[in-house]
Amino acid sequence: MGADQHLVVSWLMRVRFAPSPTGALHIGGARTALYNWLLARHAGGTLVLRIEDTDRERSTPENVEQIIDALRWLELDWDEGPISQVSRSDRHQDVLARLLEEGHAYRSNATAQDVQAFKDEHGAERGFRGVAEDEGAVRLRVPDEGETVVHDLIRGDTTFAHRHIDDPVIARADGSVLYNFAVAIDDLDAGITHVVRGEDHLSNTPKQLLVLEALGASQPVYAHLPLLHGPDGKKLSKRHGAASVQELRAAGYLPEAVRNYLALLGWGDADDETIISTPELIQRFRIERVARNPARFDEQKLRWLNGRYMRELDTDELTRRLEAYTGREGLRDAVAISEEKVQTLADFWPLAGFIFDGPADDPAAREKWLGEEGRAALADVRAALAEVEPFTVEQVEPALRAVVEARGAKPREVFQPVRVALAGTTVSPGIFETLAVLGRDASLERIDRALAA
């Protein structure tokens, strides 16, 4: 690589997604990943995946795998990593030693009680300052004077007075480093240019900046995303239905619809479009336009959006998705007549499963539509259907309408009994289409059964 090219590379955007593997990837984390991905793809930059696993208790291989699965399902790829934060502990130790050596950090055995005692004496707003000891945890020295300003692409500048900041513990007594230290070093070493993460990290940013400053390193540009809440305004949790990516997947949502929805949750373009394909998103997404206020996750809108995406897929593709989702095969004909009626992949089977598994059992439907009148109509339909040739929608429809006319009935008085006979319920795809998909034999058999019951 020549010098010129190197210069170009150094100007490119490098972002990262750094989840801590504490379980399933939540929607908030998924959105953070999406925004970073959008930024990287838009700028032709690099997305680094780093696993923040310094908390050994919660970081299990299963949890890491869950996050990677979720990203794959969302079709968000990364260019470097996954890098385990723990795997970088040698480097962390080197930097820690240097900070200790240069006096930017010190060892201390101060406990939470000691910190409280300090505040009782100096005032609650006064940041804790410890005294150097021979052993104990490592604390970063925060100056008493001055302030640290976080320059944020979304929020502008936020100023933190040093006198309010506690000397943060950056390494445990056993030497293992803590998040606020490791994250600063890792982002620095990875050459991250833009740190895009949740707002819950904003208050800790000055500590990370102080670490960087102690090292004489330059700082990245920050962008803190507003947090996501549940429908009730409270923190998002399992109580709110699908709160994790795997739950969204299980609920039958399409990854492209989820990307579209998540992109709009906290971000809006000037032209106010709602349906935005991923390529368009890459082209139009601007981190500066991300909203500052927290957003609520609204599954109703996701459902609507998902329905729009479902209807945009052609029948073959939708069939592939549905077959993968249900684990069944030979669904195409049933899919073709159900497309307009489902909003999620999960909606399909309850609507059209009767075609394969036989009529559902809905006593109320039978009672209402298969009484004396219903059976009489059904018998007429059976007779008419026996003559239809070929057994196609084009031939079936006029035959049934002729029955309606001959009986002087309302359409529903004839069609609903047929529907209940075939599906067992009052809801199904169009009746002519359903008949055609079922075929003459199966249709007549089901009608006979309803008549005999």
Q: How far apart are CA 443 and CA 436, in angstroms?
A: 9
**By CB under 7 A, what part of segment 66-125 binds RNA?**
85, 109, 111-112, 115, 119, 124-125
Q: Which among 41-49, 188-196, 246-254, 293-301 is the span making contact with RNA, rule CB under 7 A?
A: 293-301
- Residue 5 as a binder of RNA (CB under 7 A): the answer is no
Q: How far is the CB of 187 from RNA (least distance, A)?
A: 12
| Length of the chain as a residue count | 453
**By CB under 7 A, what part of segment 350-379 binds RNA?**
none
Q: Which is nearer to RNA, 46 or 416 (CB)?
A: 416
Structure tokens given for 301: 């809108």
Maximum Cα–Cα distance across the chain: 101
Q: How far apart are CA 355 and CA 423, in angstroms?
A: 7
**By CB under 7 A, what part of segment 231-270 binds RNA?**
231, 233-235, 264-270
Q: Binding residue for RNA (CB under 7 A) from 428, 437, 438, 447?
A: 428
Amino acid at 6: H
Q: How far is the CB of 367 from RNA (least distance, A)?
A: 15
Of 234, 235, 238, 301, the catalytic one is 238
- Residue 55 as a binder of RNA (CB under 7 A): the answer is yes
The count of C-alpha atoms lying within 13 angstroms of the C-alpha of 6, restricted to the half-sphere facing its C-beta, is: 3
Q: How far apart are CA 55 and CA 424, in angstroms?
A: 54
On the 0-12 / 13-18 / 19+ scale of CB atoms within 10 A, 251 is middle
| Ramachandran angles phi, psi of 110, nearest 5° | -55, 135
- Residue 427 as a binder of RNA (CB under 7 A): the answer is yes
CB-based contact 154:287 (threshold 8 Å) = yes
CB-based contact 429:341 (threshold 8 Å) = yes
Q: Which is nearer to RNA, 10 or 274 (CB)?
A: 274
Q: Which is nearer to RNA, 4 or 90 (CB)?
A: 90
Q: Which is nearer to RNA, 158 or 395 (CB)?
A: 158
Sequence-ordered alpha helix ranges (H) in 132-215: 179-189, 205-215
Sequence-ordered alpha helix ranges (H) in 123-266: 179-189, 205-215, 245-250, 255-264
- DSSP element (H, E) containing 45: none
Q: Binding residue for RNA (CB under 7 A) from 91, 289, 328, 332?
A: 289
Q: How far is the CB of 270 from RNA (least distance, A)?
A: 5
Q: How far apart are CA 298 and CA 240, in angstroms?
A: 9
**By CB under 7 A, what part of segment 384-423 binds RNA?**
411-412, 415-416, 419
Structure tokens given for 274: 């709602």
Structure tokens given for 132: 């150097």
Q: Which among 93-101, 246-254, 301-309, 325-333 is the span making contact with RNA, rule CB under 7 A?
A: 301-309
- Residue 63 as a binder of RNA (CB under 7 A): the answer is no
The count of C-alpha atoms lying within 13 angstroms of the C-alpha of 127, restricted to the half-sphere facing its C-beta, is: 20
Residue for token digits 């998705």? 321
Q: How far is the CB of 4 from RNA (least distance, A)?
A: 35
Q: How far is the CB of 275 from RNA (least distance, A)?
A: 8
On the 0-12 / 13-18 / 19+ scale of CB atoms within 10 A, 198 is middle
CB-based contact 107:134 (threshold 8 Å) = yes
Q: Binding residue for RNA (CB under 7 A) from 13, 215, 221, 227?
A: 227
Structure tokens given for 69: 């699965």
**By CB under 7 A, what part of segment 316-355 binds RNA?**
340-343
Q: Binding residue for RNA (CB under 7 A) from 328, 426, 442, 448?
A: 426
Q: How far is the CB of 302 from RNA (least distance, A)?
A: 8
Q: Which among 64-72, 160-168, 356-364, 440-448 is the span making contact with RNA, rule CB under 7 A?
A: 160-168
- Residue 277 as a binder of RNA (CB under 7 A): the answer is no
Q: How far apart are CA 125 and CA 131, in angstroms?
A: 19
Q: Binding residue for RNA (CB under 7 A) from 4, 90, 134, 174?
A: 174
Q: How far is the CB of 242 from RNA (least distance, A)?
A: 15
- Residue 301 as a binder of RNA (CB under 7 A): the answer is yes
Q: Binding residue for RNA (CB under 7 A) from 172, 238, 239, 449?
A: 172
Q: Which among 60-68, 177-185, 354-362, 380-388 is the span making contact with RNA, rule CB under 7 A?
A: 177-185
- Residue 32 as a binder of RNA (CB under 7 A): the answer is no
119 is catalytic: no
Q: How far is the CB of 331 from RNA (least distance, A)?
A: 17
Q: Binding residue for RNA (CB under 7 A) from 304, 312, 376, 395?
A: 304
Q: What is the dihedral of CA 281, 9, 67, 172, to 10 degrees?
A: -130
Catalytic residues: 238
